[in-house]
Amino acid sequence: MISIATALFWIFLAAFTISAVYSFIKDVRFSFGELEMSTNLTEENEMVLCLPITVENRGLFNIGSFNVTTEISDLEGLVIARGNTCIPVISRNTFVTVRHNITVNVKELFRENTNLIFNDTTLLLYEAVGMSVAEVIPFTASTNITFTWGAPLYNLEIGEPEYVAINRTHTLIRTPISFENHAFFDVVGNLSTLIYDSENVMVGEAQTVIEAPSQTVYSGYIEISVENAVLLSIRRFEIHLQTPIFNIKIGEVNVD
């Protein structure tokens, strides 16, 4: 037979739980702000995303173990980055804004997925919030946010080479190149042109410095001077782009 003390304990526990949950539902508000993206990279080639989360606790009890966990993934489910923020206690009658940061190493990101260098895409941000109502009763909530990733070399085009006579011994080869920098960071680096003959022997090389600020269109030429004696033996060009963030072969031009 249940004792009076035990019965009173369960009645008290039920009343406490109902009161805490009712106060939480009635007097606690959450809001997710707009996702903020840094306008440039850190010295470690990282971009920082920030999601402001506002908690208004006008309830009767404290909120304990307030925890925010984030995963950023592509539409195929590949996880790109994770982030976590924890606040031990949010006292009653307080208004708190949490700036939840997620850090992505762009250099490693491009190394794992070169498609993000050339193509815009949509990324998915999954946000989960966990806490303890009255520092005892667990509660969780989650939301999904999508945002657009802008490629630094979007719509890359390498045109046909043009040949301009310099003098009796040398010819200037000019190859047009253009792209749209949709990324939030500038593209600054060196374009390397490697020229090979029919025996796959490199017969020429040149470096071109490029600078394409964020959200601009780059249009220019890769120029290299070669001796006329080897001009007829040229069969292909390889074009590479080296920047502090990525080093990649961006194209090849075959010469008939």
Q: Which CATH superfamily is domain 154-254 in?
A: Immunoglobulins (2.60.40.10)
Instruction: Write down the domain spans for the chain.
Output: 29-149, 154-254
Topology agreement, domain 29-149 and domain 154-254: yes
Q: What is the 3-state secondary structure (H, E, C) of the chain?
A: CCCHHHHHHHHHHHHHHHHHHHHHHHHEEEEECCCEECCCCCCCCEEEEEEEEEEEECCCCCEEEEEEEEEEEECCCCEEEEEEEEEEEECCCEEEEEEEEEEEEHHHHHHHCCHHHHCCEEEEEEEEEEEEECCCEEEEEEEEEEEEECCCCEEEEECCCEEEECCCCEEEEEEEEEEEECCCCCEEEEEEEEEEECCCCEEEEEEEEEEECCCEEEEEEEEEEEEHHHHCCEEEEEEEEECCCCEEEEEEEECC
**pLDDT tens string for the chain (256 positions)?**
456 544 443 444 344 444 444 444 555 667 777 777 777 777 788 888 888 888 777 766 677 777 888 888 887 888 888 888 887 887 777 778 888 888 888 888 888 888 899 999 998 888 887 776 655 566 777 778 888 889 999 999 998 888 888 888 888 888 899 999 999 889 999 998 888 888 888 888 888 899 999 999 999 998 888 888 887 788 888 999 999 888 999 888 887 6
To the question of domain 29-149 being in CATH 2.60.40.10, the answer is yes
